[in-house]
């Protein structure tokens, strides 16, 4: 054994203790550090010929790279839809690495039993019935890709071909219809050989909505003249968190032949709040469903779940059995369900967080974040220099400058907020306007944090009198 490795082996408990101490310092100070550090580039160094041992590596990391890491796990990082990592989720994540299971299912381990239990919990949390089965994947993009891969196989079945055997070309041009699809949908269509251009956007409802106009969707399906299609419904758009009417879309299935995929990456968590649960009504009727877990469940990157009512198609697309063994039957191993063969036990952090806080604890995070978004929205609406671009429907505040809102000025506003070290927001383009989004999804965020964000934004917008909340 290399001496550095042998030395680390002999001191393994002390090493884990050092890592624990370092992580504890970093995480407990996360609310006080600048949300994004000043931009400085760390230069790459050559590959070490001889290593310095894990303790030495930790020291070099702490010195060279850690200072540039963002506080994306902290309470005022409101860019994208980021979420943090609950204490229990971090515990589960550490143990995932320590145990280093290969959760393929054929691994002579109870790990896949734990994954199945976690999937059952999540299915219940999101209001899905027993007909849905699922698997863990790395993120909503892959979850959407898996759902659309099943849709592609289903289209083949309608036309009497097996796409998994003969290839996507056998389908000819495919019709994918959606109102306000996430950017990961065209990416998935590119990967799947369907093609980005096959995504056709259907008009949304009037009056500043992002939800699809179901009557126009019906028109688009009617125009296909019986040709089977794919509908991507959106349960939580990123700019204004608008929801398609899932029940109304599902009812169209009585008249038209289509696969219904629901992208509920973070909007699926509306189901946890009795006030908002109606937004996800009808989700159970979907053929496939995507929900991200590294966003609003607050588990570390990277984790998402995909559900489907068509496990037979999933096994056809993703099975890894030798052809002479045939398709797996009964409860197929996860290796036959996902793009990965070898896979990390990414269910463990979710299992820990759900075991630790239950439905009630996770509901509290969702409801608190929604209240914070409302609070920030009201605050922004009261600042003369700023303008809300949409009502705060759930956990995202979409706003711009009241005066001239050029790309330059709005992006400069976002940069000024980031440079203040107080908060991080991401730019977007919505309703013909350059804008900023503040997305609340972190378990640590408090009312005080929300007011600090409002103050930072107000100051950066040049308002003479920083507001102090509603």
Ligand X SMILES: *Cc1c(COP(=O)(O)O)cnc(C)c1O
Residue pair 253/172 in contact (Cβ under 8 Å)? The answer is no
Q: How far is CA 382 from CA 374, 376, 377, in A?
A: 12, 10, 9
Per CB under 6 A, 186 contacts ligand X: no
Identify which range of 138-146, 152-160, 241-249, 346-354 contacts ligand X by CB under 6 A.
138-146
Beta bridge partners of 229: 258
| Of the residues 136, 154, 243, 266, which one makes contact with ligand X according to CB under 6 A | 266
Per CB under 6 A, 140 contacts ligand X: yes
Within 23-82, the residues that bind ligand X by CB under 6 A are 81
Contacts 24+ apart (CB under 8 A), 307-314: 307/123, 307/126, 307/128, 307/132, 307/133, 307/134, 308/132, 308/133, 308/134, 308/146, 308/147, 308/150, 309/131, 309/132, 310/150, 310/154, 311/133, 311/337, 313/150, 313/153, 313/154, 313/157, 314/146, 314/150
Per CB under 6 A, 310 contacts ligand X: no
Per CB under 6 A, 304 contacts ligand X: yes
303 φψ region: left (φ > 0), alpha (ψ -120 to 50), beta (else): beta
Q: Where are the beta strands (DSSP E) in 293-415?
A: 304-308, 386-388, 396-401
Closest CA to 456 of 446, 440, 468: 468
The token duo for 359 is: 């439905």
Compare residues 263 and 340 and give the one whose CB is closer to ligand X: 263
Closest CA to 427 of 413, 437, 417, 412: 437
Per CB under 6 A, 139 contacts ligand X: yes
Instruction: Compute the least distance from the CB of residue 183 to ligand X, in Å.
Output: 8
Degrees (nearest 5) of the Cα angle 304, 306, 310? 170
- Alpha-helical (H) ranges within 262-335 are 311-318
Compare residues 163 and 249 and give the one whose CB is closer to ligand X: 249
| Of the residues 96, 118, 141, 353, which one makes contact with ligand X according to CB under 6 A | 141
Run of H or E including 371:
helix 347-381
Per CB under 6 A, 307 contacts ligand X: no
Instruction: Compute the least distance from the CB of residue 263 to ligand X, in Å.
Output: 5
Within 284-303, the residues that bind ligand X by CB under 6 A are 292
Identify which range of 18-26, 161-169, 219-227, 260-268 contacts ligand X by CB under 6 A.
260-268
Instruction: Compute the least distance from the CB of residue 376 to ligand X, in Å.
Output: 19
Compare residues 105 and 147 and give the one whose CB is closer to ligand X: 147
| Of the residues 73, 163, 211, 265, which one makes contact with ligand X according to CB under 6 A | 265
Per CB under 6 A, 85 contacts ligand X: no
**HSE (side-chain half, CA atoms, 13 Å) at 61:** 13
Cis peptide before 302 (omega within 30 of 0): yes
Residue pair 245/211 in contact (Cβ under 8 Å)? The answer is yes
Instruction: Compute the least distance from the CB of residue 292 to ligand X, in Å.
Output: 5
Identify which range of 259-267, 376-384, 398-406, 453-461 contacts ligand X by CB under 6 A.
259-267
Q: How crowded is residue 408: how many other Cβ atoms within 10 Å of its Cβ?
A: 10
Compare residues 144 and 428 and give the one whose CB is closer to ligand X: 144
Instruction: Compute the least distance from the CB of residue 445 to ligand X, in Å.
Output: 18
Please report where in the chains the tokens 């990456």 appear, as a residue.
265
Q: Per-residue string for binding with ligand X, 364-403, x by CB under 6 A?
A: ----------------------------------------
Per CB under 6 A, 118 contacts ligand X: no
Identify which range of 159-167, 262-270, 275-283, 408-416 contacts ligand X by CB under 6 A.
262-270
Per CB under 6 A, 184 contacts ligand X: yes
The token duo for 142 is: 């892959």
Compare residues 221 and 265 and give the one whose CB is closer to ligand X: 265
Identify which range of 140-148, 275-283, 403-411, 447-455 contacts ligand X by CB under 6 A.
140-148
Identify which range of 7-15, 108-116, 136-144, 359-367 contacts ligand X by CB under 6 A.
136-144
255 alpha carbon, distance to own chain's centre = 32
Identify which range of 1-9, 134-142, 222-230, 250-258 contacts ligand X by CB under 6 A.
134-142
Per CB under 6 A, 238 contacts ligand X: yes
Which residues, 6 or more positions from 226, have their beta carbon under 8 angstroms from its beta carbon?
Answer: 257
Q: How long a stretch of residues is the chain?
A: 470
Query: By the criterion CB under 6 A, which residues form the site for ligand X?
Result: 81, 139-141, 144, 182, 184, 236, 238, 263, 265-266, 292, 304
């Amino acid at each position: 054994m290399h001496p550095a490795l042998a030395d680390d082996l002999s001191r393994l408990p002390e090493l884990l203790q050092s890592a624990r101490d370092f992580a504890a310092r970093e995480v407990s100070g996360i609310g006080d550090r600048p949300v994004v550090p000043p931009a400085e580039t760390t230069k790459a160094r050559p590959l070490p010929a001889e290593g310095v041992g894990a303790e030495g590596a930790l020291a070099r990391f702490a010195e060279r790279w850690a200072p540039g890491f963002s506080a994306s796990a902290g309470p005022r990082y409101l860019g994208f839809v980021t979420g943090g990592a609950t204490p229990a989720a971090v515990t589960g994540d550490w143990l995932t690495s320590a145990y280093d299971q290969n959760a393929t299912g054929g691994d002579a381990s109870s790990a896949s039993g734990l994954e199945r239990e976690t999937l059952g919990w999540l299915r219940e949390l999101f209001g899905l019935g027993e007909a849905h089965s699922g698997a863990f994947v790395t993120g909503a993009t892959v979850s959407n890709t898996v759902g659309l891969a099943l849709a592609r196989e289903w289209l083949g079945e309608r036309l009497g071909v097996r796409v998994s055997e003969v290839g996507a070309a056998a389908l000819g041009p495919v019709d994918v219809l959606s109102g306000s699809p996430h950017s990961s949908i065209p990416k998935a269509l590119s990967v799947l050989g369907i093609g980005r251009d096959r995504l056709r956007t259907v008009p949304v409802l009037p009056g500043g909505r992002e939800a699809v106009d179901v009557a126009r969707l019906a028109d688009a399906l009617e125009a296909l003249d019986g040709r089977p299609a794919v509908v991507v419904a959106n349960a939580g758009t990123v700019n204004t968190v608008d929801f398609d009417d899932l029940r109304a879309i599902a009812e169209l299935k009585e008249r038209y032949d289509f696969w219904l995929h629901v992208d509920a990456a973070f909007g699926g968590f509306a189901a946890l709040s009795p006030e908002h649960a109606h937004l996800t009504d009808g989700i159970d009727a979907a053929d496939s469903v995507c929900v991200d877990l590294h966003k609003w469940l607050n588990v570390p990157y990277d984790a998402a779940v995909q559900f489907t009512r068509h496990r037979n198609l999933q096994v056809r697309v993703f099975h890894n059995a030798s052809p002479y063994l045939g398709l797996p039957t009964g409860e197929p191993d996860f290796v036959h369900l996902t793009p990965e063969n070898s896979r990390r036990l990414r269910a463990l952090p979710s299992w820990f967080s759900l075991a630790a806080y239950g439905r009630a604890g996770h509901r509290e995070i969702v409801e608190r974040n929604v209240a914070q978004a409302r609070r920030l929205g009201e605050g922004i609406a009261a600042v003369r220099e700023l303008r809300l671009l949409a009502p705060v429907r759930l956990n995202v505040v979409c706003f711009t400058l009241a005066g001239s809102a050029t790309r330059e000025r709005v992006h400069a506003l976002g940069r000024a907020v980031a440079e203040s070290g107080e908060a991080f927001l991401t730019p977007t383009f919505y309703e013909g306007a350059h804008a900023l989004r503040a997305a609340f999804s972190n378990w640590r965020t408090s009312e005080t944090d929300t007011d600090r964000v409002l103050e930072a934004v107000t100051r950066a917008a040049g308002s003479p009198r920083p507001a102090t909340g509603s």
